[in-house]
Chains A and B, each alone.
Chain A
Amino acid sequence: MKRKRYAIVFDTKKCLNCKACTVACKFENYVPVGDDSYRLWVTEMPLEGRFPVLRQEFRPSQCQHCENAPCEKVCPTGATFRTAEGVVLIDYDKCILCKACMAACPYDARFVSKKHDAVEKCTFCMHRVSEGREPACVETCPVRVREFGDLNDPDSTVSRLLNQRAYYQLKPEKNTRPRLFYLK
Chain B
Amino acid sequence: MKENKKISRRKFLGLSAGAVAGLAFSPSIPTLFAASKKTYDYSILPAGKREYIASNCAMCVNKCGIIAEVVNGRLHKLNPNPEHIKSRGMLCAKGNAGAALPYSPDRLKTPLLRTGERGEGKWKEISWDEAFKYIAKNLADLKQKYENRSTVAFASTEGFQEEFYYYLVNSFGSLNTVRHTTLCLASNIQGWSSVFGVFPDADLLNAEYVIMLGADRAQSLITPDSVNFQRYKPEGQKLIVIDPRFTVTASKADRWYPIKPRTDQGFVLAMINVIIKEGLYNRQFVESYTHGFKDLEKMVQDYTPQWAEKKCEIPAAEIVKTAREFAAHAPRSVIYPGRRSSFYSHEVYVRRTFAILAAICGCWDTKGGVVPRSSIKLNTPEVSFPFFMQTRDRVDKESTDLLKDVVPSSVMCPMIGTGLPEDSCSFLSERDGSWLTFREAVLNDTPYPVKGFFCFKQNPMQSVPNTTKTIAMLKKMDFICVIDMQMSDTAWYADIVLPHTSYLEGWDPATGISGINPLVEFRQPVIKPLFDTKTMFEISGGIIREMLNIPSLWDDIEPDDLKNFKEDVVEGILNRPIQEYIKTQVSNYPGALEKLMNNGFFTVESKKPTYGATRTPGFRFKTKTGKIEILNERYKEFGLFPLPKYCEPKNFVQKSGTYRFLVGRTAWNTQTTTQNIPYLWEIEKENAVWINPGEAGKLGIVSGDYVWIKSRVGKQRIKALVTEKIRPDCVFYSNGWGRRSPWLSRVYKSGASEAEIIEDVLDSISGGTCLHETFVSITKA
Interface residues of A (CB under 8 A from B): 13-14, 16-20, 22-24, 26-30, 33-36, 38, 41-44, 47, 49-52, 54-58, 81, 83, 89-93, 95-99, 102-103, 108, 111-112, 115-118, 123, 126-127, 129-130, 136, 139-144
Contacts and interface: CB of A to CB of B under 8 A. Distances in A.
B469 to A, nearest CB: 34
A57 B251 CA distance: 7
B93 A19 contact: yes
A54 B96 contact: no
Contacts, number: 191
A115 B683 CA distance: 21
A136 B31 CA distance: 20
A37 to B, nearest CB: 9
B3 A33 contact: no
B-side interface size class: 35 or more
Given A18-B221, A108-B10, A92 B31 contact: yes
B667 interface: yes
A42 B28 contact: no
18 contacts: A14-B252, A17-B218, A17-B219, A17-B248, A18-B219, A19-B93, A20-B90, A23-B668, A33-B678, A51-B692, A57-B251, A95-B24, A97-B21, A112-B12, A116-B31, A129-B42, A130-B40, A136-B77
Contacts of B251: 54-57
A43 B9 contact: no
Contacts of B99: 27
Contacts of B252: 13-14
Most interface-central of A14, A16, A27, A96 (chain B CB within 10 A)? A16
A74 to B, nearest CB: 14
A52 B258 contact: yes
A89 B76 contact: no
A98 B6 contact: no
Contact of A142 (B23, B33, B231, B246): B231
Given A127-B42, A130-B42, A142-B226, 18 more contacts: A14-B231, A18-B221, A18-B668, A20-B96, A24-B96, A27-B78, A43-B2, A51-B246, A54-B251, A58-B248, A83-B40, A108-B10, A117-B26, A126-B42, A127-B44, A140-B90, A141-B90, A142-B227
B93 A23 contact: yes
Interface string B1-37: 1110110111011000100110110111101110001
Nearest to B246: A54
Most interface-central of B89, B251, B667, B727 (chain A CB within 10 A)? B251
A41 B2 contact: yes
Contact of B17 (A27, A99, A123, A126): A99
A111 B9 contact: yes
Contact of B28 (A28, A35, A118): A118
A143 B80 CA distance: 13
B558 interface: no
Contacts of B89: 139
Contact of A35 (B8, B43, B95): B8
Most interface-central of A20, A90, A126 (chain B CB within 10 A)? A20
Contacts of B257: 52
Contact of A93 (B23, B31, B680): B31
Nearest to A13: B252
B5 A23 contact: no
Contacts of B13: 99, 102-103
A111 B20 CA distance: 12
Contact of B246 (A22, A56, A139): A56
B679 interface: yes
A51 to B, nearest CB: 4
Nearest to A52: B258
A103 B44 CA distance: 26
A18 B667 contact: yes
Given A23-B97, A91-B31, A95-B24, A17 B667 contact: yes
B219 A16 contact: yes
Interface in B248-276: 248, 250-252, 256-258
Contacts of B93: 18-20, 22-23
B76 A27 contact: yes
A157 B142 CA distance: 66
B682 interface: yes
A23 B77 CA distance: 10
A124 to B, nearest CB: 10
B6 A41 contact: yes
Contacts of B45: 127
A95 B21 CA distance: 10
B720 to A, nearest CB: 16
B76 A92 contact: no
Nearest to A107: B6
